[in-house]
A = this chain, B = another copy of it.
Amino acid sequence: MGCFNCFRRVSEDACVVKRLDFTYIAVAKAALTSEQLKQHQEKTNFIIKVPKGTRDLSPQQMVVREKILDKIISCFKRHGAKGLDTPAFELKEMLTEKYEDNFGLMYDLKDQGGELLSLRYDLTVPFARYLAMNKLKKMKRYQVGKVWRRESPAIVQGRYREFCQCDFDIAGEFDPMIPDAECLRIMCEILSGLQLGDFLIKVNDRRVVDGMFAVCGVPESKFRTVCSSMDKLDKMSWEDVRHEMVAKKGLAPEVADRIGNYVQYHGGISLVEELFKDPRLSQSQLALQGLEDLKLLFEYLRLFGIADKISLDLSLARGLDYYTGVIYEAVLLESPAQAGKETLSVGSVAAGGRYDSLVAQFDPKGHNVPCVGLSIGVERIFYLVEQKMKISGEKVRTTETQVFVATPQKNFLRERLKIIAELWDAGIKAEMLYKNNPKLLPQLHYCEKADIPLMVIIGEQEQNEGVIKLRSVASREEVTINRESLVAEIQKRLSES
């Protein structure tokens, strides 16, 4: 495997990235003479690209990204959350033992003397660290920021090694299931607001999962590892998961089959009622506690008007180790759910749950703060919105410029500079070409291409008469106004549109 022109070997990393189509190999494909080739070889001793699993966001993408983030953040604020920011990296020891199986996927910083550091893996552990460090007993906070995971970026579309998470969490000792229900309500508000089509939120409880494992005969020492197998059920068939449980994790086949029976269950409040009466599951006090809470949760969800969006799903496990109670995961359904028909999931876009003992892991006295929260996966949503816009052909403006200052004649640079400064002084978004003597046509083209609504035109005649032309780019209508009423006239037009 080599570079197209200079025939140097390309590392395996570069190849993977190339296949994923988010890189650019900095070599020209044109034929080169041997002298050119030699120079070229010297110059291109590197491939110009972004690191594997990361990407730039272009101006077009930034506009889409910001629209999505605005909707998410305004929902968080509607629910009274405060903002928080934490560093991109933490002391390595702060992150150790919080993610169990996934710990190998952390980005570590090089030991350059001083502290050992790792890039944050999520926003939840830094939040717990913040609470413990500041001895906060309660807090409703949101945080939006990048997190980094050294996963193979090829697995699923829209999965990167650097990605943005939007988190909302409620920390504090409260009456059961009220904050939990609000988290689910927030997920519904955001997913409805983003108009991504129909969605479903799967709910379960870690205590129900553990109780189910216990009554199925899983040894307690294997709870976490079997849980992480079960977590793969959205990507693998039950047969493959069963195989992993038996062959790799050493479960007895009949134990796996008992689990296999439960993981098929999904439904609403009536399923909760049924499970209370399940002869095997009802043997587990832990499972009964979980079911008790789920029952209450479903009642609150009904009052919140979102019970139809939520489904108890015994196959839901959630990979992260820190969950202790209710867990949930939102999936988009490819087409609107139709009664009696199977709907196909296109993957998880938001998830979360209750983690009641994470803060204690940071507190030297073991003081604890129960927490519940959710995380919105922006990349997946971004991918879907982008696809939708491509299909609909919707155009986005990448600038907000309102007025363009133009001239059809030479020697008007100084006048244009004075006019544009006047507009900026008035807070008007304005641009002009950085040329001494531009021709009129490129100035018109610039406005049309950038969708700038208004154009101010100054020329010799206008200057002599103390007037100026104002042109609507879309309608091509021009009016001549007094030079001194320029700002007022533009502000009037902008406020009307």
Contacts and interface: CB of A to CB of B under 8 A. Distances in A.
Given A43-B366, A434-B174, A50 B90 contact: yes
A56 interface: yes
A440 interface: no
A109 B108 contact: yes
Q: Which of A43, A46, A65, A364 has the most CB of B within 10 A?
A: A364
Nearest to A57: B85
B79 A424 contact: yes
A90 B56 CA distance: 11
Contacts of A94: 46, 48
Interface in A116-141: 117, 119, 129-130, 132-134, 141
Contacts of A79: 424, 429-431
A28 interface: yes
A222 B325 CA distance: 66
- Residue of A109, A421, A434, A436 with most partner-chain B CB within 10 A: A434
B62 A85 contact: yes
B112 A48 contact: no
A170 interface: yes
Interface string A144-158: 001010100000000
Contacts of A179: 434
Given A56-B86, A87-B51, A114-B13, A424 B174 contact: no
Given A81-B399, A90-B51, A109-B110, A24 B133 contact: yes
A479 interface: no
A119 B162 CA distance: 12
Interface stretch (A228-236, A300-308, A457-465): A300-308
Interface string A303-320: 111000000000000000
Given A109-B109, A429-B78, A162 B88 contact: yes
Given A28-B364, A40-B364, A58-B84, A48 B189 contact: no
Contacts of A182: 434
B48 A364 contact: yes
Size range of the chain A interface in the assembly: 35 or more
A27 interface: yes
A178 B364 CA distance: 59
A340 B490 CA distance: 42
Contact of A54 (B89, B110, B133): B89
Given A110-B110, A111-B110, A399-B81, A424 B57 contact: no
B401 A48 contact: no
A400 interface: yes
23 contacts: A13-B114, A26-B362, A27-B364, A46-B91, A48-B94, A49-B91, A50-B90, A51-B87, A51-B117, A52-B114, A59-B84, A78-B429, A79-B424, A80-B401, A80-B430, A87-B162, A107-B109, A108-B112, A170-B434, A178-B434, A178-B436, A189-B424, A305-B421
Given A48-B133, A57-B85, 19 more contacts: A50-B86, A50-B90, A51-B87, A52-B115, A55-B87, A58-B84, A63-B83, A77-B399, A77-B400, A77-B429, A78-B424, A78-B428, A80-B399, A82-B398, A88-B88, A174-B434, A178-B436, A304-B417, A304-B421
Interface of A: 11, 13, 24, 26-28, 40, 43-44, 46, 48-52, 54-59, 61-63, 65-66, 77-91, 93-94, 107-112, 114-115, 117, 119, 129-130, 132-134, 141, 146, 148, 150, 162, 170, 172, 174-175, 178-179, 181-182, 185, 189, 300, 303-305, 362-366, 398-401, 413-414, 417-418, 421, 424-425, 427-431, 434-436, 450
